[in-house]
Amino acid sequence: MSAAIRSLAEDWLAQDPDAETREELVRLLVADEAGDAEASAELEDRFGSRLAFGTAGLRGAIAAGSNRMNRVLVSQAAVGLAEHLLARGTGRPVVVIGYDGRKNSRIFAEDSAALMAGAGVDAVLLPRLLPTPVLAFAVRHLRADAGVMVTASHNPPQDNGYKVYLGGADDGSQIVPPVDGEIAERILDVARTRRVTDLPRGEYRTADESVVTAYIDATAGVGRQSTPLRVVYTAMHGVGWETAHRVLSAADFDEPLVVVEQIDPDPAFPTVAFPNPEEEGALDLAFATARTGRADLIVANDPDADRFAAAIPDASAPEGFRRLTGNEVGALLGWRAAERARAEG
């Protein structure tokens, strides 16, 4: 391993607030000194580059290093985003921060809130782990300047990520060029010029339940049940069930059947190889539940509940149900929106 990489790793170690990643990095450095080629290669991979911040924010494996997701990288991202918003000069920005049930999601969110507050931002943390759509809604509902969702969506369990949404005229949408590049430059400036241990922390607010209730009411208002349906729902070991259940109840849908093995948040995603409901095999337990319950419809979310899959009975399909394609789901949603708009004049 080069002297430059070792210097980067040692500097990282000096500012890492997390005991787990510090211990992990110490083991690698000791192994490298002992001549372990695998440890040297691992350090080169972790510190030879940096996770790129783009329109999807950050996403990568949780571990020490600039090319991994960890508290140092998240801290730099939080302050970089805060300074980007402050540079716009439109008063004190408001940022809403949410998190899912993945490993370290909550601590990444709490670090972000405290560091943004320390940078001069009015930081608002959502009250508990919640779906990504609730965060996007909260940006609009609270008239925030931006939102952050700590999640790696449907990535494997070893990953986590950092999505950024913009408020105002962008209305809670994910960032697009050139804003992603501008934020990335701010993050790099923080990484080059300051240590995480020196970054000020401040007091942040925690949003109350009214934000979640407003989301439930708004979503349930999109469409009420008009025909009795036996629905099977799976959260794919993510955070979707509580919110989905409340939305369905508020919209007068019958109580859904649930895939019990997948209904509670579990960052290990133990029953699926890849927690994406559109992947082959991911809905096997849902198919079994639907066959037993003679369901009319299967509805599935990914772990942060921003991805939706559906399946319908089909006697010709091997499982007795056919998963709709993304185009089919999109066409149905578009048709429903058009019908609603026509009915409302």
CA 256, 260, 264, 268 dihedral sign is negative
User: Are the C-beta atoms of 44 and 96 separated by less than 8 Å?
Assistant: no
The rounded Cα 330 to chain-centroid distance in angstroms is 22
Rounded to an integer, what distance in angstroms lies between the CA atom of residue 325 and that of residue 309? 8
Strand partners, 7: none
Cα angle 317, 323, 325 (rounded to 5 degrees) comes to 125
Through-space distance between the first and last CA atoms of the chain, rounded to whole angstroms = 68
Distance CA 47, CA 29 (A): 12
The Cα 307–Cα 152 span in angstroms is 12
- Do residues 186 and 81 touch, judged by C-beta distance below 8 A? yes
Cα distance between residue 140 and residue 278, in whole Å:
29
> Comparing C-alpha atoms, which of 229, 228, 193 is closest to residue 15?
193
* Active-site residue, 153 included: yes
271: number of Cβ within 10 Å: 16
The structure tokens listed for 324 are 């709709």
- DSSP state letters, 69-101: BSHHHHHHHHHHHHHHHHHT-SSS-EEEEEE-S
**Nearest residue to 146 (alpha-carbon basis) of 215, 102, 92:** 92
- Which of the following is catalytic: 40, 75, 105, 153? 153
HSE-CB at 101 with a 13 A cutoff on CA atoms is 24
Q: Which residues are catalytic?
A: 153
